[in-house]
Each structure stands twice: as structure tokens, then as C-alpha cells.
């Protein structure tokens, strides 16, 4: 009964899309459990680069049923555009299932996301402005509209009539923005509904039935551990639960359905948007990582902030996700560096912190304590076994593994599927 959760172990963009695609052969279902189109997962499939925002990365495989779980927030316009793009590329989307309980991103959510960021000014979170936060806010305050409401125009309009006046007040009176009429939104959304209806399902039942029948389900996380609403660097986080527990609440399976939890981490670390980042590099090494790693956001195109690998963060990710395995991606990007630093602890006010400090402002001002390891010059993008890697690269991986205290089972040495070392990952027999 393998239910396997895949999560980001840093601040997102760790290469979750690539690893999901890599493992997809073994799975019958690939399920997104949180987030929305703030995600940007890159998959290189049959020579083509696909950027998926909302649709699970398994969509290319005819044997896989892709599922968008109840924990996600769905912008129906974006969903249909993404489906159309895939269809135009010859990738069928007819198997896609969308949870009836997932919440809808409404036009006013997008407006409010942008407006609240503008109002915060220098204090902005740096959101993707896709309406994610405001949609989850309405879910928590029980003012949200759900995918199932698209099935009944009468109910959709009733719920919208209840929610919209307050939103219009905020748009107009707080932010001086244009308002909406019920008719305007209902017309737009009920047109989307016609196309989305065939995909709506009670996906918790579908997934549980599949697991009981011995089928393999991959729960594909978006964002990353430090962007988790509860466990991340609050308030510089997203509004959902990208950690492994989110796979249960975000799909409706029990914790016993999860057999393995795979965390994805880059061989260095990046973050998009604001917030503390102890190992951030503001020098030419940072620029090199940005350039060689192609560190520009998949969703917003923003330049990602780059820094040395932070072992405190990954150890924390091991803990809060119960990681059983790690995949280290983008090891190839480090080729050519004379030495490579790894943050093993922080220092603040004369005190050493081996774990994440409880107080956010200590994390803000923490100075990383580094260990420096020898680099390697060889191009490693053609290596397919651990033994083929130069000794310094093997030592680097072993060092990270000792610090994380979980096996590094997969190592990625390039963006394509083949550029991967399967070290300790035995698939479906």
C-alpha cells in the first residue's frame, strides 16, 4: 500500500517537479494536496520543458490519474488555461480529478493579494499575487466558495451573494479599488463550471480506494517546509501546509496511509520573496549560483535569492516532515567552485544554535557557522552512479547525509530525467 509523500525541504523550487516526473513510472496517482498556482513545477518531458502551476506533475503519463486535492485552492481560469496548454501540446487532461471540497480563488482574492502587498510596502511578504492568501483566509473564516458550488448555479449565486458585499466594502473603502457585481462573477465562473464539472470528484474516496487496492499514490507537495504556515518562517510563508502532515488533511487520507516521505533539497538553497535567510550570498558566488542554476522564478520570473546549503534547515525539515529519504538536486551547479560552504549551526549574541531558534528575530540576525569543504572541477552532469562522481562530490553528499541523519537516496545532476543518480531508491518491483 505505498503512499509516498514528496515535499520541499527548503523554501520551494527544490526540483520537486523533476523528481515527481522521475518517479512517476511507478505510480498510479499523483496528488497535489495544498497550494495553488503560486507553485511552478518544471518538468522536462520528451525533450519539452513544461511548467506546471496547478496540475500535478504526473499529467504526462497516460497510466497516471492526476488529482487536485481538497487542500488546494483553485483559480478556475488558470486551471482551464493550463489544461488548454497541455492539450495543445498533445497531453490529454481528461483523467484529471478535482476535489469537490477544494476552495475557489475568486477575482477579489487576486485583487486583495496585490492590494495588501502594496499597502505593506517595504514590509511586503513578496507573494506571487495569485490570490492564495486571501482564498485560504476565506476558507478559514468560512466565507469561501468551493469547487462543488460550481455544480449548482443557484447555490453558487447564493454563496456569492453572502460573501461579496464584505469583499466589495474592503476593495472600495479600504483600498479604493473597483468592486464586482454578483452577475459579473457568476457569469464568468458558471461558464468555467461547464468545463470543470466532468472532473469534479469526491477525491478522498478515490484515493483511499486506490490505496486499499494496492495502487501507488504519490502526494506531490508544492512550496517547501520553511514556507509552511505553521512550521515556516512566519509571516514570510505561504498560507497552506506544504509539510507532510498537509498530505493527510489536504487529501483526506489517514497518516497510516503514508509509507515513505521524500524531502527534496537543493545542494545549495534559494528563496523568492521576502524574509530571513541566514546563508544568503550577496557576492559573486551568489551571482554564480543564480546564473549557473538558472535561479529565476518559474511562476513570477523573479530572481531567486541564493545561498549556501543550510544543514540546520534541512535537519528541521527531516524532523517536521518525518523524512525517510532525501533527494539532493542541482549538485552539478556547484561544479567549478574551489570550496563549498555548509552551514552547520548559527551564532547569535555569543550563543550557538544547532537547531532553529524559537524566536524569529534571532533567526533574522543569526550568523551562519560554516564548515568548508573542497570543491571539484569536473562536469558531473553525465554521472549516473554515485561511484562516478568525483571524490569531493561524494564527500560533500556524505557530509550532508551525516548532518541530515537520513539517507540521500536520489542525487540530481541536471534538469532532465536521465540526469539522476538513483542511489538508494528501489522502485516498484
Query: C-beta of 42: minimal distance to Mg ion in Å?
Result: 7
Query: C-beta of 213: minimal distance to ligand IMO in Å?
Result: 29
Quick one: 51 or 364, whose CB is closer to ligand GDP?
A: 51
- Residue 350 phi/psi, 5-degree rounding, is 80, 5
Cα separation, 54 vs 35, in Å, equals 8
Does position 317 bind ligand IMO by CB under 6 A? no
Query: C-beta of 105: minimal distance to ligand IMO in Å?
Result: 11
Quick one: 35 or 69, whose CB is closer to Mg ion?
A: 35
Binding string, residues 2-21; x marks residues near Mg ion by CB under 5 A: -----------x--------
What does 125 interact with, of Mg ion, ligand GDP, ligand IMO, none (CB < 5 to 8 A by kind)? Answer: ligand IMO
Query: C-beta of 232: minimal distance to Mg ion in Å?
Result: 16
- Residue 78 phi/psi, 5-degree rounding, is -65, -40
CA nearest neighbour of 37 among 129, 99, 141, 148: 129
- Interaction residues for ligand IMO, span 399-428 (CB under 6 A): none
- Residue 368 phi/psi, 5-degree rounding, is -70, 140
Contact region with ligand GDP (CB under 6 A), list: 92-100, 171-179, 248-256, 325-333: 325-333
Binding string, residues 278-317; x marks residues near ligand GDP by CB under 6 A: ----------------x---x-------------------
Q: Which is catalytic among the residues 13, 111, 228, 325?
A: 13
Q: Identify the residue whose cell numbers are 546563508.
A: 279
Query: C-beta of 418: minimal distance to ligand IMO in Å?
Result: 22
Does position 132 bind ligand IMO by CB under 6 A? yes
Quick one: 30 or 132, whose CB is closer to ligand IMO?
A: 132
Give yes or no: 13 in active site.
Answer: yes
- Interaction residues for ligand IMO, span 21-80 (CB under 6 A): 38-41
**Cα dihedral 317, 320, 321, 323 sign:** positive
Residue count (the chain):
429
Give yes or no: 41 in active site.
Answer: yes
Binding string, residues 41-80; x marks residues near ligand GDP by CB under 6 A: xx--------------------------------------
Query: C-beta of 49: minimal distance to Mg ion in Å?
Result: 13
- Catalytic (active-site) positions: 13, 41
Q: Could you list the residues that contact ligand GDP (CB under 6 A)?
A: 8, 12-18, 40-42, 294, 298, 329-330, 332-333, 412-415
Q: Could you list the residues that contact Mg ion (CB under 5 A)?
A: 13, 40, 298
Q: Could you list the residues that contact ligand IMO (CB under 6 A)?
A: 8, 12-13, 38-41, 125-128, 130, 132-133, 222-224, 227, 236, 238-239, 272-273, 298
Amino acid at each position: 500500500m505505498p503512499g509516498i509523500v514528496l515535499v520541499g525541504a527548503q523554501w520551494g523550487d527544490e526540483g520537486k517537479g523533476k523528481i515527481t516526473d522521475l518517479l512517476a513510472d511507478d505510480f498510479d496517482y499523483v496528488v497535489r494536496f495544498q497550494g495553488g498556482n503560486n507553485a511552478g513545477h518544471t518538468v522536462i518531458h520528451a525533450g519539452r520543458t513544461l511548467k506546471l502551476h496547478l496540475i500535478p506533475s504526473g499529467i504526462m503519463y497516460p497510466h497516471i490519474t492526476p488529482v487536485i486535492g481538497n487542500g488546494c485552492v483553485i483559480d478556475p481560469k488558470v486551471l482551464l488555461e493550463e489544461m488548454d496548454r497541455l492539450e495543445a501540446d498533445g497531453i490529454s487532461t481528461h483523467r484529471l480529478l478535482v476535489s469537490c471540497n477544494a476552495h475557489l480563488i475568486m477575482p477579489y482574492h487576486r485583487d486583495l493579494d496585490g492590494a495588501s502587498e502594496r499597502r505593506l510596502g517595504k514590509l511586503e511578504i513578496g507573494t506571487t499575487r495569485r490570490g492564495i492568501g486571501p482564498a485560504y483566509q476565506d476558507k478559514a473564516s468560512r466565507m469561501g466558495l468551493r469547487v462543488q458550488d460550481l455544480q449548482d448555479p443557484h447555490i453558487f449565486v447564493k454563496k456569492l451573494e453572502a460573501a461579496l458585499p464584505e469583499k466589495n466594502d474592503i476593495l472600495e473603502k479600504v483600498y479604493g479599488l473597483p468592486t464586482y457585481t454578483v452577475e459579473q462573477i457568476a457569469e464568468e465562473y458558471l461558464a468555467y463550471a461547464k468545463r470543470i464539472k466532468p472532473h469534479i470528484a469526491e477525491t478522498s474516496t478515490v484515493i483511499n480506494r486506490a490505496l486499499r487496492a494496492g495502487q501507488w499514490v504519490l502526494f506531490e507537495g508544492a512550496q517547501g517546509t520553511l514556507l509552511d504556515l505553521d512550521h515556516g518562517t512566519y509571516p514570510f510563508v505561504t498560507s497552506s501546509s506544504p509539510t507532510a502532515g498537509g498530505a493527510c488533511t489536504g487529501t483526506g487520507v489517514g497518516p497510516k496511509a503514508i509509507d515513505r516521505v521524500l524531502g527534496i533539497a537543493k545542494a545549495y538553497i534559494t528563496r523568492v520573496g521576502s524574509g530571513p535567510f541566514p546563508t544568503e550570498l550577496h557576492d559573486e558566488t551568489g551571482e554564480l549560483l543564480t546564473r549557473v542554476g538558472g535561479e529565476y522564478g518559474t511562476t513570477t520570473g523573479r530572481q531567486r535569492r541564493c545561498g549556501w546549503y543550510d544543514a540546520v534547515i534541512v535537519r528541521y525539515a527531516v524532523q517536521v516532515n518525518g523524512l525517510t529519504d532525501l533527494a539532493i538536486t542541482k549538485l552539478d551547479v556547484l561544479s567549478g567552485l574551489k570550496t563549498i560552504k555548509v552551514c552547520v549551526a548559527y551564532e547569535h549574541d555569543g550563543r550557538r544554535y544547532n537547531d532553529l531558534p524559537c524566536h524569529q528575530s534571532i533567526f533574522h540576525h543569526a550568523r551562519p557557522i560554516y564548515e568548508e569543504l573542497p570543491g571539484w572541477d569536473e562536469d558531473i552532469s553525465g554521472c549516473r552512479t554515485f561511484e562516478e562522481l568525483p571524490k569531493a562530490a561524494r564527500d560533500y553528499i556524505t557530509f550532508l547525509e551525516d548532518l541530515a541523519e537520513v539517507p540521500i537516496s536520489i542525487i540530481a545532476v541536471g534538469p532532465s530525467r536521465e540526469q539522476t543518480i538513483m542511489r538508494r531508491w528501489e522502485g516498484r518491483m
